[in-house]
């Protein structure tokens, strides 16, 4: 341990990089809090995986690496005579590989197919994967990368969201879902879209059931012109058609 007046930051980090009770405790707490910090923003947005889920994944990843390090220490210490006798071999990287492979099951469970051929949960899944890797880094004592990763992941999941939304609103590509009265109305909808000098990449037809009625519907993949036609302007032009029952822009 350290005595008064002799402690420096270099000595502190050197001590925490060792394998002892204080460093193990610090790594577990760091992994839990950093992962929980990322999950807190997901909870505020009511996402599939939130504060506690991220905390547990980060803690579990860190714990798995600490177990590997403990096994390594014991095999070169108290268990050394037995290891020498039976010729056991040890590869600590297998623990991290198993954790990264196992998180795929949890992450895939957060990815669900939504309506109109949309998929949700991809950001949550990748956030969980990044959280696990951050926990592994905390477990091996790579403190610098944990702090840096926590900041970058938080920026990507929270601060970059408004920027991404603004980019999608300004993008020339858009996907429109529309319900209408008859399949004959498709030609009129496409005419309105083309009148805005926009190109139609693809049209996927669906059928939407409401009470006793059944309405045809379609998903239009559109590329807007370089003129001042905005997403809202295109949606308004289609919505003004008398046979259009409902319309919305699909944002992945």
Each residue of 53-79: pLDDT tens digit? Answer: 788 888 888 888 888 888 777 777 777
Per-residue pLDDT band at 168 (split at 50, 70, 90): low
234 and 215, same domain (yes or no) = yes
Please state, in angstroms and rounded to a whole number, the distance separating the CA atoms of residues 104 and 125.
Answer: 8
51 and 66, same domain (yes or no) = yes
Q: What is the CATH number of the domain that holds 241?
A: 3.30.70.260
Q: Residue 123: which residues within 8 A CB-CB, separation 6 or more?
A: 47, 157
pTM: 0.60
Q: What is the pLDDT of residue 143?
A: 84
Which comes out higher in pLDDT, residue 170 or 208? 170
Q: Answer with the one of 151, 168, 185 that is the final residue of a domain.
A: 168
Q: What is the pLDDT of residue 213?
A: 63
Q: What is the pLDDT of residue 1?
A: 52
What distance, in Å, lies between the first and last C-alpha atoms of the chain? 54
Q: How many CA atoms lie within 13 A of 78 on its CB side?
A: 4
Beta strand 112-113 with 119-120: parallel, antiparallel or unpaired?
A: antiparallel
pLDDT at 191 over 80: yes
When computed from its CA atoms, the radius of gyration of the chain, rounded to whole angstroms, is 27
Q: Answer with the one of 168, 199, 220 that is the final residue of a domain.
A: 168
The answer to whether position 214 is within a domain reads: yes
186 and 160, same domain (yes or no) = no
Which has the minimum average pLDDT: 97-111, 126-140, 174-188, 237-251?
97-111
pLDDT at 176 over 70: yes
How many CB atoms lie under 10 A from the CB of residue 128? 27
């Amino acid at each position: 341990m350290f005595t008064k007046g002799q402690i420096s930051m270099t000595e502190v980090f050197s001590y925490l990089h060792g394998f002892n009770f204080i460093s193990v405790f610090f790594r577990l707490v760091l992994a839990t809090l950093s992962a929980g910090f990322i999950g807190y923003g997901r909870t505020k947005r009511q996402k599939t995986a939130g504060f506690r889920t991220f905390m547990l994944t980060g803690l579990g990843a860190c714990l798995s690496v600490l177990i590997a390090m403990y096994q390594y220490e014991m095999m070169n210490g108290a268990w050394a005579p037995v290891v020498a006798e039976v010729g056991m071999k040890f590869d600590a990287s297998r623990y991290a590989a198993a954790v990264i492979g196992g998180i795929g099951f949890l992450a895939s469970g957060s990815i669900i197919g939504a309506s109109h051929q949309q998929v949700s949960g991809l950001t949550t899944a990748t956030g969980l994967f990044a959280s696990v890797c951050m926990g592994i880094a905390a477990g091996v004592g790579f403190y610098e990368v944990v702090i840096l990763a926590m900041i970058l992941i938080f920026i990507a999941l929270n601060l970059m969201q408004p920027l991404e939304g603004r980019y999608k609103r300004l993008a020339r590509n858009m996907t429109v879902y529309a319900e209408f009265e008859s399949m004959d109305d498709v030609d009129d909808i496409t005419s309105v879209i083309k009148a805005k000098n926009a190109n139609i990449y693809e049209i996927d037809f669906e059928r939407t059931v409401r009470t006793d009625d059944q309405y045809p519907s379609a998903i239009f993949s559109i590329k807007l012109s370089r003129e001042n036609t905005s997403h809202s302007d295109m949606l308004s032009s289609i919505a003004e058609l008398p046979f259009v029952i409902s319309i919305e822009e699909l944002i992945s």
